[in-house]
A and B are shown apart, each in its own frame.
Chain A
Amino acid sequence: MQVDEATVRRIARLARIEVSAEEAKGLEKELSGILDWVKQLDEVDTSAVEPMTRVVDQKLKMRDDVVTDGEIADQVTANAPMTEDNFFVVPKVVE
């Protein structure tokens, strides 16, 4: 599997990580190497196998649909880079 520079750029954009030209070069090689290596899974016949979802069979737990927490807006925003009156301040999203 060869990951080319265009693919690296596409993935980096999807992941929202800026990648320099120099870094992209190195990543082409590294990502190709790792993806080649995981390709050995193709040897395994999984046509009749369900994907694993849990370790032991367990019923999905239900809980009453009630408010158990909240009214802590100051705590929720306490670590934000920018806030105003318990709102997150973010760059302009809508033009």
Chain B
Amino acid sequence: MTDLTKLTIAEARDGLQKKDFTAIELTDAFVSAIEKGNGALNAYVLQTPEHARAQAKESDKRFAEGKARPLEGLPLGNKDLFCTNGIRTTACSNILGNFKPTYESTVGQNLWDAGAIMLGKLNNDEFAMGSSNETSAFGNVVNPWRRKGKDGKASTDKLVPGGSSGGSSSAVAANLCLAATATDTGGSIRQPAALTGTVGIKPTYGRCSRWGIVAFASSLDQAGPITKTVRDSAIMLKAMASHDPKDTTSVDAPVPDYEAVLGKGVKGLRVGIPKEYRVDGMSAEIQKLWDDGIAWLKSAGATIHEISLPHTKYALPAYYIVAPAECSSNLARYDGMRYGLRVNGDDLIDTYEKTRAKGFGREVRRRILIGTYVLSAGYYDAYYLKAQKVRTLIKRDFDEAWNTVDVVLTPTTPSPAFAFGEKSGDPLAMYLEDIFTVTVNMAGLPGMSVPAGLSSQGTPLGLQLIGKPFDEETLFRTAQVIEDAAGRFPVPDAWWMKG
């Protein structure tokens, strides 16, 4: 039998329907791959094989009865930011300790109701704050990709898988699940997807319910999938998205059948190339990747237009006001009283302070302090209000652009996957990882990363597509054209399976 873990969602779905294999066989293939390969990658922080087998059993029963649901029997990984009923959820922070939610996130529930199977909880940067998965309380996640050494052979240096959804990107690239849930506040789906040769989409703000997802910055957070192919991405997003009365910002709009638009092509589509994204010091290989993307879309019948998004350079500094401000408010709930860690002090305030000093990691503490500062008396107008006004201008740039183009094409990241420690010493250097992705969150737009080439080091690079609000369909059909032209980027050597 072929290696079932290498299948895409679409292929596994067909195989299950044709009874080439059962849901139990498929699930067991992943369970043993995780047992063997997770030690080297640290993508899963909790494995739930019993839970997965129980779900698989139900799936096989439904196949036998002819009652299969859209994602019946498909094994997925679930980012540890998504609450799981009765199963430990930590946001990869010590402050949540052994927290076991008594409810399921809406996105998760949608997936399980569609018949999908959960293999376990995936690692991420603590509270989704990071771009390298180096801030998790469970330790670093390793990218299955390796750099080419000077001798042309693969180097054994460990590379970051991107962040914050580093467990999701690593697990999908390493075939430790068919696909994974992820979340994106400033680039946390698209940047890890780009660094691992996988596909990641952050839908429009409001497309997926945020209910039951541990909150970071509520006006920016959105859920989305990381997958092996564009088609898989379309299948996953369709199942994850819904209107949810429990999240007032979720939008009451029908969720289209994204898979149905994949073959539509881009003939006559107007593609915008924002000149402000040609940043100083952009590397030649990123420039070439971008030019390749332009050429592919052009030869598929799209027209290319230079556009201007003049406030682009202000997106990142505005983000580093808005995101910490909202994080400091959201994380105020971790006070050691109702759940998670409590460190007893001399009095109530001392207990709060000791609990939060011990429970939160360094980057989270730093962001809470920045957020507290910018929201403190006398500073609100100068920082938070100012940043929200700049956000209006960023959104207005895009509103203008939509008069002349239908979709925007940019690189996803300024550089390929880097090594551990390379950027973690300097918060500002790390923040620059999100320079191309963060504008999309600030404007609330849908954004997608598609693998498009390899760097000179032999590691993957991604192109980003940005769309109009709730126009994920255009992203999917454009992404399909890029994937068809660029091909897929599986990891060449499964070294993590060799012990």
Query: A residues engaging B (CB < 8 A)?
Result: 3, 7-8, 11-19, 27, 30-31, 33-35, 37-38, 40-44, 46, 49-56, 58, 60-61, 63, 72, 75, 77-82, 88, 90-93
B residues near A8, Cβ cutoff 8 Å: 369
A residues near B402, Cβ cutoff 8 Å: none
Decide: A34 and B368 in contact? CB cutoff 8 A. Answer: no
Decide: A55 and B318 in contact? CB cutoff 8 A. Answer: no
Query: B residues engaging A (CB < 8 A)?
Result: 99-102, 204-206, 245, 248, 251-252, 311, 313-314, 317-318, 320-321, 328, 332, 335-342, 344-345, 347-354, 356-357, 360, 365-366, 368-370, 372-373, 376, 383, 385-393, 395, 427-428, 443-445, 469-470
> Given the known A-B contacts A16-B349, A41-B317, are A79 and B339 also in contact in the complex, defined by CB atoms under 8 Å?
yes
B residues near A40, Cβ cutoff 8 Å: 313-314, 317
Q: How far is the CB of B250 from chain A (nearest CB, A)?
A: 9
> Given the known A-B contacts A31-B370, A46-B389, A81-B341, are A63 and B245 also in contact in the complex, defined by CB atoms under 8 Å?
yes
Decide: B373 and A31 in contact? CB cutoff 8 A. Answer: yes
Q: Of B335, B339, B357, B386, which contacts A18 at CB under 8 A? A: B357
Q: How far is the CB of B252 from chain A (nearest CB, A)?
A: 8
Known: A14-B372, A18-B354, A33-B428; 8 extra A-B contacts, CB below 8 A, are A18-B350, A18-B357, A34-B427, A44-B393, A52-B388, A58-B206, A78-B100, A88-B337
Closest to A93 in B: B348
Q: How far is the CB of B126 from chain A (nearest CB, A)?
A: 14
Q: Of A17, A77, A93, which contacts B368 at CB under 8 A? A: A17
Residue pairs across A and B with Cβ atoms less than 8 A apart, 19 shown, are A3-B373, A15-B369, A16-B335, A18-B350, A18-B353, A34-B320, A44-B314, A46-B389, A51-B389, A51-B392, A52-B388, A52-B391, A54-B444, A55-B443, A80-B339, A81-B336, A81-B339, A91-B345, A91-B348
Q: How far is the CB of B456 from chain A (nearest CB, A)?
A: 30
A residues near B369, Cβ cutoff 8 Å: 8, 11-12, 15, 17, 27, 31
- Bound complex: CA of A19 vs CA of B381, how far in Å? 27
Decide: B357 and A46 in contact? CB cutoff 8 A. Answer: no
Interface SS of chain B: helix
Residue of A56, A78, A82 with highest tally of chain B CB at under 10 A: A56
Which 7 pairs across A and B sit closest by C-beta, in order of nearness? A55-B444, A51-B388, A79-B339, A18-B357, A46-B389, A81-B342, A52-B391
